[in-house]
Amino acid sequence: MSQYLQIVGGRVYDPVNGIDGETRDVFVEGDRIVSALPRGIGPDAVTRLDARGCVVMPGGIDIHTHVAGPSLDAVRQVQTEPGDLIVPTPAQAGHRYSAMGYTTIIEAAVELDELPDTPRRLCEAVNLDAGFLLELGNHKPIIDLLNRDQDAAAIELIASLLRDSGAYGIKMVNPGGVLHYRHCHEEPTSLDQAIGGTRVTPRRIMKLMSVAADQFGLPHPPHLHCYHLGLPGNVYSTLDALDVFEGSRVHLAHAQFYSYSQTDDGDYTSAADRMCEYLSRHPNVTLDVGQIVFGPAWAITGDIALEHRLREQLYGPDEPASEGPLRIEYEPKNPIHSLMWATGLELVLLYKNLQQVTLSVDHPNGGPFWAYPQIIAWLCNKPLRDRTLAAAHPVASQHSRLKDIKRELTLQEVATITRAAPAKALGLKNKGHLGTGADADIAVYEHDTADPQRMFECARHVVKAGQVVIEDSRARETLPGKLLPGPVV
C-alpha cells in the first residue's frame, strides 16, 4: 500500500466544511486527509480509487450500539432460528459496519464488572475505531459519598474510574433508579425521590455527573438513558430530566423511546414534535434516535426496572423475575410498535437543524445496525415510507404526524445524521468530516437516487485510517479494531 491515496472524481458531501455535492478529488497522505498531494511524487506512488458517478462521505459513526459484552454473548448462545441471527460476534460486526461505510462506533454501556473483558472484546471489531462509555449512574460507592455530602470525593472517584478503565465517557442508565429497584422493586417516581435507602436523589446524581464532565472537559457529555423508557406520557419526565443539566451538555440516548404523550384514554401518542421543539431551544442537548425496524430485536439493558416491565408484558405477571436478554419481534400490525416506528422517523423529519440528531437503532434493541440503509431510505423517500405506513397499524397514522410530513432528506442531511452530528456530539474533532488533517476514514457509494437503501447497504470503496479496506465492494484489507483512547482526566 502506497503512502498516498487519491479518490478521484466523486461528488463530495461534507457538511462540516460546507461541501454539498461538489465534484472534487479527496487526497490522503498516511492516515490523514490532505489538501493536495506533494509535488514531484511519481504516479506509481499514489493509489487511485475511481469515484466517478459516486458519492463520497466521511466514514459513518454509530454513537450508540452494543457489539461486545456478556449480554451479547448470552444472546449469541441462544439465537438459532434462521433470519433471527441479529447479534454477530464483534469481528463479524466490524465487517458488516465497514461494508456499509461505517468506521467508528461507541459501545454505549459497559458495567464496571465487565472490565477489562468488554473493551478487549471490542477491539475484535475489525476495521473500526471503537470507544466505550462506563455506566456510573448507579455505582454504590459514588452514591454513598454523595449521601455523606462528600461531592468532591465523588468527583475524584469518577475521575479515577474513567482513568483506570480508559472509558471514552460517562453513561447513566436510569440514574439511581436501578439501585432503587434492587432495593425495593419500584422505580423512583420523581427526580427528587431519595433512592435505595439513602438521601440521594436522581437529580443529584445527574447534577454530579454533569459537573464532573464539565470539570474534566470530557469530549462527550453524560450519555443519559432516562427513566420510564417506553411508557406513555414519558416525554414530560424526560424533558424534566434534561432540564437538570441547566445548559450544560447532555446526550439523550435512543430518544424515540422517550417521545410519548398520552391520550385521555391513556393510549400512546407521539410527542416527537415536543421533543424537537425542546431540542431547538436547547443547543446543549444532543440525541440519538433509537429507531425501531420491523422484525427481530433483542432487549439487552442494565435498566432492570425496564427489563422486568418488558418481561411482564411479554410473558405475563407470573413469569419469575429473572434477568437477561429478551427476544422482541417488532410487528407492523402491533399498534405500539407501529407508532414507535413512526415516532423515530418523526424525530429526524420534524427537526430542521439536524446537527443535534444522530441516527441509531441502539443495536440490537431497536433492530440490527444493518437496518441503517433501510431507515435512510424511509427518510429520503416519502412514497416508500408511505407504503410502510399504509401497511402498519392505523394508530401510526392517527397518533403521529408522519403521514403529513413531506420532507425527504438530502444526501447532505444523511451525511449530517450519520457523520457530522455524531462526531460533534462525541467531540471527535478529526472525524465526521473530510477537511485537511481529518482522519482518513472515507466511504464511497454508487449514487442511486431511485434506491438509497441499496446505495448505502454496500459501499463501493471504504478507506479506514488511510488503508483501503473495501475496494469495488469487495473486502480488500482487514485492519485490527482499535480502542478510541479515553480523554485525559
Q: Which is nearer to Zn ion, 108 or 415 (CB)?
A: 108
Three-class SS of residue 27? strand
- The footprint of Zn ion on residues 231-290 (CB under 5 A) is none
Given the rule CB under 5 A, which of 32-40, 100-108, 155-163, 417-425 is the region that contacts Zn ion? Answer: 100-108
Helix (H) / strand (E) containing 159? helix 151-165
CB of 66 to Zn ion, least distance (A): 6
| 306 binding Zn ion? (CB under 5 A) | no
Q: Which is nearer to Zn ion, 362 or 441 (CB)?
A: 362
Q: How many residues bind Zn ion (CB under 5 A)?
A: 2
Cβ distance 159 to 167 under 8 Å?
A: no
Question: Pick from 55, 108, 285, 426: which binds Zn ion (CB under 5 A)?
Answer: 108
Cβ distance 441 to 59 under 8 Å?
A: yes
CB of 302 to Zn ion, least distance (A): 9
CB of 109 to Zn ion, least distance (A): 6
| 362 binding Zn ion? (CB under 5 A) | yes
Whether residue 116 is preceded by a cis peptide bond, meaning omega within 30 degrees of 0, is yes
| 307 binding Zn ion? (CB under 5 A) | no
The C-alpha atoms of residue 97 and residue 381 are separated, in whole angstroms, by 23
In sequence order, the β-bridge partners of residue 467 are: 464
Given the rule CB under 5 A, which of 67-75, 107-115, 436-444, 456-464 is the region that contacts Zn ion? Answer: 107-115
Cell numbers given for 381: 423517500
Given the rule CB under 5 A, which of 45-53, 232-240, 354-362, 380-388 is the region that contacts Zn ion? Answer: 354-362
CB of 158 to Zn ion, least distance (A): 21
Residue 384 DSSP class: H
CB of 263 to Zn ion, least distance (A): 28
Given the rule CB under 5 A, which of 8-16, 18-26, 101-109, 379-387 is the region that contacts Zn ion? Answer: 101-109
* Closest CA relative to residue 323, chosen from 85, 93, 111: 111
Given the rule CB under 5 A, which of 21-29, 36-44, 360-368, 457-465 is the region that contacts Zn ion? Answer: 360-368
Q: Which contacts of 390-393 are long-range, i.e. CB under 8 A and separated by 24 or more positions?
A: 391/332, 392/332, 392/333, 392/338, 392/341, 392/342, 393/332, 393/333, 393/334, 393/335, 393/337, 393/338, 393/339
CB of 206 to Zn ion, least distance (A): 18
Residues 384-419: b if buried by 16+ CB within 10 A, e if exposed = bbeebbeebbebbbebbebeebeebbebbbbbbbbb
Instruction: List interacting residues with Zn ion (CB under 5 A).
Output: 108, 362
